[in-house]
């Protein structure tokens, strides 16, 4: 089951997938190396697996990198899994699935989709699901575009309203300052009235012989 001539494999899309990964920086987890040895190289015991990994680190990385480079990106994001919250990328190369932790640039695992009914059935099954996936992705892209357009419209309305609110705040502040001035004028008027009233009291006090009235 060794992978050979990956450059010449015919991918379902028919086009080399230009992944946005620097494959030179790609790291392969111990689990992924073990899966490679077990599933691709048919190593069926721990000793053989470890010996193969020790002697073939470069080949393992090269083959897995090609599986990614010539594969299709099925999904990029965080899986809906309470125990697995890191963002991943899922690649498909024929029946092989490779899952990468994008942030750590680390291949988490790889495996083959095998329903136990033969390679032709497996490929047909995958092709049907790829068709459904493409339709779902197109629908998602359309919904996403519509939401972005509607969001932009409402963001513009929010911006316009905030500008109007800002103008009203300026008016309110100006009115509040005017009111403070009016209150000061009222206080001054009260002082004048108090002075005038005192003049009346003083005269009355003199008339009736009281010092304070």
- Nearest Cα residue to 29 out of 108, 92, 138: 108
46 contacts 72 by C-beta, under 8 angstroms: no
Say how many C-beta atoms besides its own lie within 10 A of residue 5's C-beta: 7
CA distance 58 to 60: 5
**Sign of the torsion angle spanned by Cα atoms 34, 39, 43, 46:** positive
- In this prediction, residue 179 carries a pLDDT of 95
- In this prediction, residue 51 carries a pLDDT of 92
- In this prediction, residue 19 carries a pLDDT of 53
- In this prediction, residue 119 carries a pLDDT of 86
Q: Which two tokens stand for residue 139?
A: 């629908």
- In this prediction, residue 83 carries a pLDDT of 62
92 contacts 126 by C-beta, under 8 angstroms: yes
- In this prediction, residue 110 carries a pLDDT of 92
Angle between helices 57-69 and 46-55 (to 10 degrees): 80
- In this prediction, residue 23 carries a pLDDT of 81
The number of angstroms, rounded, from the C-alpha of 208 to the middle of its chain's C-alpha atoms is 89
- Phi then psi for residue 177, to 5 deg, are -65, -40
- In this prediction, residue 99 carries a pLDDT of 92
- In this prediction, residue 178 carries a pLDDT of 95
Question: From the CA atom positions of the chain, what is the Rg in Å?
Answer: 39
Q: Which residues of the chain have pLDDT under 70?
A: 1-20, 80-85, 211-213
- In this prediction, residue 20 carries a pLDDT of 66
CA distance 68 to 105: 12
β-strands 27-28, 72-77: how paired? unpaired
For residue 184, give the H/E element and its range. Answer: helix 119-208
- In this prediction, residue 86 carries a pLDDT of 79
pTM score, whole prediction: 0.65
């Amino acid at each position: 089951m060794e992978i050979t001539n990956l450059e010449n494999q015919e991918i379902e899309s028919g086009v080399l997938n230009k992944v946005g990964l620097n494959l030179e920086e790609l790291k392969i987890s111990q689990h992924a190396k073990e899966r490679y040895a077990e599933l691709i190289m048919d190593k069926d015991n721990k000793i053989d697996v470890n010996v193969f990994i020790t002697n073939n680190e470069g080949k393992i990385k090269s083959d897995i990198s090609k599986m990614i480079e010539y594969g299709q990106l099925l999904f990029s994001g965080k899986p809906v899994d309470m125990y697995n919250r890191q963002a991943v990328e899922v690649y498909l190369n024929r029946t092989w699935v490779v899952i990468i932790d994008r942030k750590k640039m680390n291949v988490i695992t790889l495996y083959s989709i095998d329903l136990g009914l033969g390679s032709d059935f497996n490929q047909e099954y995958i092709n049907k699901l790829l068709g459904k996936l493409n339709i779902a992705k197109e629908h998602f892209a359309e919904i996403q575009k519509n939401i972005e357009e509607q969001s932009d419209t409402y963001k513009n309305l929010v911006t316009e309203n905030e500008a109007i609110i800002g103008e009203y705040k300026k008016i309110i502040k100006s009115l509040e300052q005017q009111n403070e001035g009016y209150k000061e004028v009222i206080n001054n008027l009260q002082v004048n009235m108090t002075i005038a009233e005192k003049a009346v009291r003083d005269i009355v006090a003199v008339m009736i012989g009281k010092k304070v009235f």
